[in-house]
Structure 1
């Protein structure tokens, strides 16, 4: 199946999805058919922070139409933050949307966990992973949500993590795990790999990368294995 990916939100996560999809297809001996539409990250951030759900859904719908015209048969967003308008996008999209939410929920059920900590944008954290109901979702204290969000957005827009950001997110995850009872820490922002990748064992807690879980689900659809 020809997959359309709405990327650029941010650029690093788009590349991360692309690498994950090509790796999965290569392992299966299959050829990846993929087209990427480059969305405007600052526009997404502005709409997220203004809770402009319908406006962002319509914006994404335009990219879906572009991808459909290019032959795509299903689409996905390369951003967990962008899922704040996923229901509204599904309602207006001219193609099926491969959401990250069901694949994350299935992954938690397979793991057998009941309490997960999440880091990401304010929309991801305040919605408790967009209402996933099979687990209890633990988030940082209210007074820390803004700092987590601002650090994440700065990292996503720059496409790189500073040492201070790596330390900040590592500590925030540890607080959720050690002090708030989370069994695993979910990287609920698809750019969080910038802070964690290659250093997962340094933090002292198990990690679930939402981008990789989502990319695996996209690959299964692309290869017709679901």
Structure 2
């Protein structure tokens, strides 16, 4: 299947999805048929903070229309934060949307963890991934503003600092001290902070689960 990716939100997240799909197709010996359209991460951040999912959905729908014209048969948002408008987008999208949230919940339902913490944007943390993961209990994040601000700063430039990494690791440890059995990376770009490092607690990567789900469709 020809897949369309809404990219650019942020640059490192796009690279994560793109490389992940390439690696899976190469390993399987199958062909990746892909079109990407660039979205502005700063514009999306403004609409996220303003709680204006309809406006962002219209922007994304325009990008999906361009990918449909290029031959794409389904599309995905390469950002967990970008899923704040996924319901509005699905209602107006010219193509089916490969929604990350049901894929994440299905994966959690199969896993061994029943009580988790979430790191990501303020909206992702406050809404417990938009209320879409009823299969687990979520420990509320107390350092909402600190995690959000550091996450957005990291995602915008596609690079993590050691200070930002410490914020995420400290927040994860604090959640585990209050009963979380694992920490879910609810922000796609968090792999920048966690890849190749041992935070001291189990990690569940939403973006990797989403890439798996997109691959399953793209290989069909």
Same fold (TM over 0.5): yes
Whether the 8 Å CA contact 1:129–1:137 is kept in 2: the answer is: no
2:199 to 196, 203, 208: 203
- Which residue does 1:193 correspond to in 2? 191
Alpha-carbon deviations, 1:45-77, whole Å to 9, x = none? 000000001100111000010110110000000
- Which residue does 1:145 correspond to in 2? 144
Whether the 8 Å CA contact 2:3–2:218 is kept in 1: the answer is: yes
Deviation at 1:130, TM superposition (A): 1.2
TM-score, length-normalised on structure 1?
Answer: 0.95
Deviation at 1:15, TM superposition (A): 0.4
Report the secondary structure of 1:46's partner residue: helix
- Which residue does 1:184 correspond to in 2? 182
- Which residue does 2:40 correspond to in 1? 40
- Which residue does 1:124 correspond to in 2? 124
Q: Could you tell me which runs of 5 or more consecutive residues in structure 2 were left unpaired when the two chains were aligned.
A: none
Deviation at 1:113, TM superposition (A): 1.9
2:213 to 206, 211, 217: 217
Task: Report runs of 4+ in structure 1 exceeding 3 Å deviation.
Answer: none
Alpha-carbon deviations, 1:110-159, whole Å to 9, x = none? 11321111000011111111112111122311xx2111111000000011
Deviation at 1:183, TM superposition (A): 1.1
Quick one: distance in 2 between partners of 1:136 and 1:184? 11
- Which residue does 1:93 correspond to in 2? 93
Quick one: distance in 1 between partners of 2:79 and 2:101? 12
**Paired residues, number:** 219
Quick one: distance in 2 between partners of 1:139 and 1:67? 38
- Which residue does 1:28 correspond to in 2? 28
Q: Could you tell me which runs of 5 or more consecutive residues in structure 1 were left unpaired when the two chains were aligned.
A: none
Whether the 8 Å CA contact 2:20–2:211 is kept in 1: the answer is: yes
Quick one: distance in 2 between partners of 1:44 and 1:9? 8
Whether the 8 Å CA contact 1:121–1:189 is kept in 2: the answer is: yes
Quick one: distance in 2 between partners of 1:139 and 1:94? 36
Quick one: distance in 1 between partners of 2:8 and 2:140? 26
Whether the 8 Å CA contact 2:37–2:63 is kept in 1: the answer is: yes
Report the secondary structure of 2:188's partner residue: coil
Whether the 8 Å CA contact 2:146–2:167 is kept in 1: the answer is: no
